[in-house]
Amino acid sequence: MGITCDAVHTLKAWAGSLGGVAYPLCSDFWPHGATSRAYGVFNDELGRPERAIIVVDAAGIVRYVDVHQLREVPDAEEIAEQVDRLSASG
């Protein structure tokens, strides 16, 4: 699942520009940043969450956290590896 502080219509437009995505997208727009605050990645000074990848298993246990600067691009292979670990253990 992807979660962002963007509004729902923005998520829909972004997914459409990619030709769709294979996972659900959720908006953390209101209350603004409630989910990212709960995971400790909301930047109050900037008024937005950090670019963070958080992998949570089926039991709700955080298994992986990777936080980047806004302009940094997370390593897709590393993220896929972390998700594959969940699939292999489940």
Q: What DSSP designation does 23 have?
A: S
Q: CA nearest 1: which of 24, 35, 34, 28?
A: 24
* Residue indicated by tokens 């992807």: 2
Residue 3, token pair as written in the block: 């979660």
pLDDT tens digits along 34-63: 999 999 999 999 998 888 888 888 888 898
pTM surpassing 0.95? Answer: no
Q: Domains of the chain: which residue ranges?
A: 1-49, 51-90
What integer pLDDT is reported at residue 5 of this predicted model?
84
Q: Which two tokens stand for residue 54?
A: 């958080």
As a residue count, the chain comes to: 90
SS3 of residue 39 by DSSP: coil
Amino acid at 33: G
